[in-house]
Structures are given as structure tokens and as C-alpha cells.
Amino acid sequence: MELSSSLCIQAFVFLCCFGLSITSIFGGGNETDRLALLDFKAKITLDPLEVMGSWNDSIHFCQWQGVTCGRRHQRVIKLDLQSQSLVGSILSHVGNLSFLRQLILANNGFIHAIPPKVGRSHRLQNLRLENNSISGQFPSNISSCTNLLSIMVSFNQLVGEIPVQLTTLSKLQEFSIGENNVDFRVAFRDSIPKPNHARSQDLQAANLAAQQPRHLMQ
């Protein structure tokens, strides 16, 4: 009887340890996403609609307002906080959301520059930051996000030249950068690929250095 009890205890301990190991292996990415979201929240300086009220450990981060996770791995695939009157900066930790496909922060009061680490989100398909107060230059390493279909950054305070590296984004369908203080290098204007199914490429109000190529107006 004692031997049987001892074996049961050992089996229980083994299963607990095994369960912890599995959690460690498969939960690590989830923890990375949770921490990235909390770091993002920490940089929000004004939240009049209390959107961030649900962003706490009382519920799983996949249930936080504006957050959408994939069903299989419970990783963040979409962060949609558009038109929420938020003020703050886009922290570089957003780049740690390695499964992120859509980053939608349009129509808010985000300031400072687009962090280069956003370029680490290689699955990113839609980047919507229009109608904010984002400044600085457009980061060239966003060209690493080769799955991008849409870049919408109009009505901000971006400056400088649009990186030539963006010409490599062969899947790009939308590119809106009007109402900024950006310039186009001649090489970029002459080599930008024409998307096969382009819906819009809003360049006319971007304070261009020279006349835009004819194919961008089609």
C-alpha cells in the first residue's frame, strides 16, 4: 500500500514537472506578446476613453480591447486601436509581436518617430498610422516586412526622404503618405514597383521633390 502511494506521488510530481515544461516551451511566446503590450500601454499618456482599462492580468491579453489573437497559438495577430483619442508614442517593443499582421493606430495622437524595430514584424501586412502627429523619418528597415500590402501614414509630420528600400515591397497595394514633409529620391521615383492591384498611392500632397512618375497617377 505504501509502495502504491509512493508511486502515485512520484507520478504526480512527474506530471507537474512535465506540465511546467510544456508551459515553458509553448507559453514563452505568449509571455513575450503580453509584455510587449504592457510596454505599449506604459507609453500611453492620455486615454480619455479608458481603452486601456481592460489591459490588465484579470483577463487573458487576447481579450484586451483592440487585441486579436490567432486561434492556434494565441499570439497577437492584430492590434487595432484606431480612433480612440489615444496620446503616446509607439514603443519599439511592438516589434516583439512576431505574429503581428495588422497594426492599426490611425486617427489618434501618437507622437515621436516610428520605431525601426517595427521592421522585425516580418508577418506584418497592414500598417495604418495615418492622422497622428508622428515625426522623424520613415524607417528603411520596414522593407524587411516583405508581406506588407498596405502602408498608410498620411497626415503626420514625417520628414526626409522615403527610403529606396521600399521598392522591394513587391506585394504592396496601398501606399498613402500625403500631408507630410517628405521627398522622393529620383532613383526611388523611377524604380518604385507598380502594384498589380493597386487601390491607391496617395503621393500628390507629400511635398514631392519632383513630379511624380506617371504610373503612380494611374
Give the CATH number for residue 68: 3.80.10.10
| Distance between CA atoms of residues 7 and 17, nearest Å | 15
Query: Over the stretch 95-119, which tens digit does the pLDDT of each residue have?
Result: 999 999 999 999 999 999 999 999 9
Q: What is the pLDDT of residue 146?
A: 96
Q: What is the pLDDT of residue 10?
A: 54
For residue 16 the three cell numbers come to 507537474
Average pLDDT in the chain:
80
DSSP 33-70: HHHHHHHHHHTEEE-TT-GGGG-STTS-GGGSTTEEE-
Torsion sign over Cα 59, 121, 163, 192: negative
Q: Assign 194 to helix, strand or coil.
A: coil
Q: What is the pLDDT of residue 189?
A: 56
Q: What is the pLDDT of residue 115?
A: 92
How many domains would you assign to the chain? Answer: 1
Residue 111 lies in domain: 2-217
Q: Assign 94 to helix, strand or coil.
A: helix
| Distance between CA atoms of residues 136 and 150, nearest Å | 20
Q: How many distinct helices (H) and strands (E) make up the chain?
A: 2, 12
pTM: 0.77
Q: pLDDT > 90: what percent of the chain?
A: 63
Q: What is the pLDDT of residue 17?
A: 45
Q: What is the pLDDT of residue 20?
A: 38
CB of 120 within 8 A of CB of 168?
no
Q: Are strands 67-69 and 76-80 parallel, antiparallel or unpaired?
A: antiparallel
Query: Over the stretch 131-187, which tens digit does the pLDDT of each residue have?
Result: 999 999 999 999 999 999 999 999 999 999 888 888 899 999 999 998 999 986 543
